[in-house]
Amino acid sequence: MSTEYRKLYRSRSARMLGGVCGGLGEYFGIDPTLIRLAFILGVLLGFGSMLFVYLVMLIIVPDEPMTGTPPTQGS
């Protein structure tokens, strides 16, 4: 009985600043643009509290793991 769970990562592909909104969009399965708009509205209407949340997530949430093979040196 194995239970799979998703992990939250900062996105490498849907990144504008730090990848936080892209990662949240991938995690919840929605468009990252909607998350970005929610953060902007939160910053404007919440007197900067959402900016604090974004910065904390930028520090705490790890980057998405690299996929594929690493590039070779030389050649």
Q: Would you give per-residue pLDDT tens digits along the chain (75 residues)?
A: 667 888 889 988 888 888 899 999 999 999 999 999 998 888 888 877 888 888 999 999 989 888 765 666 655
Distance between CA atoms of 12 and 51, rounded to whole angstroms?
A: 20
Compute and round to an integer the Cα radius of gyration of the chain.
15
**Tens of pLDDT, residues 37-53:** 998 888 888 877 888 88
Whether 26 is covered by a domain: the verdict is yes
Whether 56 is covered by a domain: the verdict is yes
3-state secondary structure of 38: helix
Predicted local confidence at residue 33, as pLDDT: 93
- Cβ atoms < 10 Å from Cβ of 12: 14
Predicted local confidence at residue 66, as pLDDT: 83
Whether 38 is covered by a domain: the verdict is yes
| φ, ψ of residue 65 in degrees (nearest 5) | -60, 150
Residue 53: give the domain boundaries.
20-60
State how many domains the chain has.
1
Amino acid at site 49: S
Whether 25 is covered by a domain: the verdict is yes
